[in-house]
Amino acid sequence: MKLELGNIFIRDIRFDSVSKVEKGILFVNADELRDHLLEDENIKSVSLEIARPGESIRILPVKDVIEPRVKVQGSGGIFPGILSKVSTVGSGRTHVLKGAAVVTTGKIVGFQEGIIDMSGPGADYTPFSKLNNLVVVCEPVDGLKQYAHEKAVRLAGLKAAAYLGKLAKDVEPDEVKVYETPSLKEGIEKYPDLPRVAYVQMLQTQGLLHDTYVYGLDMKHSLPTMLYPTELMDGAVVSGNCVSACDKNTTYHHLNNPVVHDLFAKHGTELNFVGVIITNENVYLADKERSSDWSAKLAEFFGVDGVIISQEGFGNPDTDLIMNCKKIEAKGIKTVIITDEYAGRDGASQSLADADASADAVVTAGNANMLVSLPPMEKVIGHPEVANVIAGGFEGSLQQDGTIVVELQAITGATNELGFNKLSAR
Amino acid sequence: MVKEIERAGLPVVHMCTVVPISLTVGANRIVPTVAIPHPLGNPALSIEEEKELRRKLIDKALKALTTEVEEQTVFEQ
């Protein structure tokens, strides 16, 4: 399967009377987009805001971040099974508004989470401070049930991103990158001497605001399966989770998965990137056992020499992580796990809830318990008072002058376990 | 908490869903429960069925508490 990604670099975003992309500037007709989103009868109001890198703006609570993309050639459409019909994506050509994003916020279900600061010390911890963001503030109709509310805001974000993505359809990209995955047989013939490597991506599937969707299917109801890596780039996997926002994968992360991109960079020279095994993180022990059995079985069947496993979230998913690692190692396949740590504010406590001797190659994305102080911003989009109740926050987190003192886990993407961030402790 | 109470001389039964974590942290008597969001109940059952489920779990835990163990033990039945 072969996909061309045409990147169109966006350096600014502005409201205008006509939505278009011109000379690296994304113009948005706010009325037109608002009307489009208000077609959902579950949404009472939508307001649109712009947040650019370096501005004194704080966004919270953040539900999702989505990169605008559009299918230009090939089967299916962006976000198949959700916005587009179920049809296999990942081939042909896709255009990307690189440097732009849609951020969704609104008071959702009482415990939606995530902070994005566009400047100041908090901006260093989230990759989304570097993007030209269109912030979609959605409020539901009165009395809307929690699950319907979550779905309405999830869809609003995807729709807004698809609306912007369509503007890129006839724009000449600034660069075109090609990603190709051969079939198992072709891969073995083409790269007989290269080590075969698969990527096991664990997806959060634990209930309301902790779910992930694959071609529209709630992944908790699926057994582990495989994807061509390029399917991810066309929105085959969509985020429905944001609680303890530091280590949850937004839809933006799935579209731009750095494990996939780094493996592609070495594909054909240092290794043979065979494909992606996706698995879930369910709340029943039997599910955890079954799913990890399955991911190990798939890795064995693909005949790989090594596997990279990324976790999503922390706590009980640490057990899914260790089960995957242990069972895949038991097949004689080398593993590296990517995780983060909850080691207490002083970093002295045990980092993971579970452990095993076979987990001897570990990449950490940082300690989510670390306290950070986020100075006040001139403008807050959303609801600042939630700082006191979100994971990582506590009574008194929001101070009189607007300063927020929280654990790192409250910041969207701060310890992302796909390794999306650039900060290091070296 | 399990380990500190046992250190003080009282036997403890750890009722939990993710048994591997309980084994990793060193509980001696472990009773597996239903699910992470509802360890001692099941919202899919009727109230009568759920009461029976709860009683069985508690009976099992009390039995585990009065059982001598030589090593970490998971009370499956």
Q: Tens digits of per-residue pLDDT, A388-423?
A: 887 888 888 889 999 999 999 999 999 999 999 878
Q: Tens digits of per-residue pLDDT, A59-89?
A: 999 999 999 999 999 999 999 999 999 999 9
Instruction: Provide mean pLDDT across the span A83-96.
Output: 97
SS3 A252: helix
Determine the structural domain holding residue A219 and report its residue range: 2-410
Is residue A416 assigned to a domain? no
Contact A59, A45 (CB under 8 A): no
N-to-C CA span, chain B: 25
Answer yes or no: do B21 and A354 touch at CB < 8 A: yes
Model confidence at A25: pLDDT above 70: yes
SS (H, E, C) A79-123: CECCCECCCCCCCEEEEEEECEEEEEECCCCCCCCCEEECCCHHH
Cα A207-A213-A218 angle, rounded to 5 deg? 55
Answer yes or no: do B21 and A288 touch at CB < 8 A: no
Is residue A403 assigned to a domain? yes
Model confidence at B8: pLDDT above 80: yes
For B30, the token pair is: 């472990």
Contact list, A288 vs chain B (CB under 8 Å):
18
Q: In what order do the strands lie in the sheet with A237-241?
A: A217-218, A210-214, A237-241
Determine the structural domain holding residue B48 and report its residue range: 2-74
pLDDT band at B77 (very low <50, low <70, confident <90, very high): low
Answer yes or no: do A285 and B24 touch at CB < 8 A: no
Indicate whether this complex's ipTM tops 0.85. no
The residues of A annotated with a catalytic role in the active site are: 242
Domain count, chain B: 1
Structure pTM?
0.94
Is residue A209 assigned to a domain? yes
The alpha-carbon gap from A355 to the nearest alpha carbon of chain B, in Å, equals: 7
Model confidence at A279: pLDDT above 70: yes
Flag the least confident range among A74-78, A108-112, A343-347, B19-23.
A108-112
Contact A369, A408 (CB under 8 A): yes
Contact list, A285 vs chain B (CB under 8 Å):
17-19, 32
Of the partner residues B21, B32, B34, the one whose CB lies closest to the CB of residue A319: B21
Q: Which residues contact A221 (CB under 8 A, 6 or more apart)?
A: none
Domain count, chain A: 1
Answer yes or no: do A316 and B20 touch at CB < 8 A: no
Is residue A357 assigned to a domain? yes
Is residue A95 assigned to a domain? yes
Q: Tens digits of per-residue pLDDT, A228-278?
A: 999 999 999 999 998 889 999 999 999 999 999 999 999 999 999 999 999
Task: Quickly tell me which residue has 């075969």 as its tokens.
Answer: A196
Residue A233 one-letter amino acid: M
Is residue A420 assigned to a domain? no
